[in-house]
Amino acid sequence: MINCPNCEKKVSIDSSNEYRPFCSKKCKLIDLGEWANEEKKISRPIQSEDFYED
């Protein structure tokens, strides 16, 4: 279990939750809207190393 990134409600991250890591479609759409309105953004250019784990 983790906390929903939007509302902090406890949520399962297994495949039975179609909205993971969010708790609901509403929270998923709120997050998408924040990205679309540029309220959220990546703070630096993406580097190729960002795609690989150590």
Question: What tens digit of pLDDT does each residue of 9-50 get?
Answer: 999 888 999 999 999 999 999 999 999 998 888 778 888 887
Which residues, 6 or more positions from 36, have their beta carbon under 8 angstroms from its beta carbon? none
How many domains would you assign to the chain? 1
Range of 8's domain?
A: 1-25
First to last CA, the chain: 25
Would 17 be classed as within a structural domain? yes
- Record the pTM: 0.68
- How many other C-beta atoms lie within 10 A of the C-beta of residue 11? 19
For 6-19, the DSSP string reads: TT--EE--STT-TT
Would 6 be classed as within a structural domain? yes
Would 52 be classed as within a structural domain? no
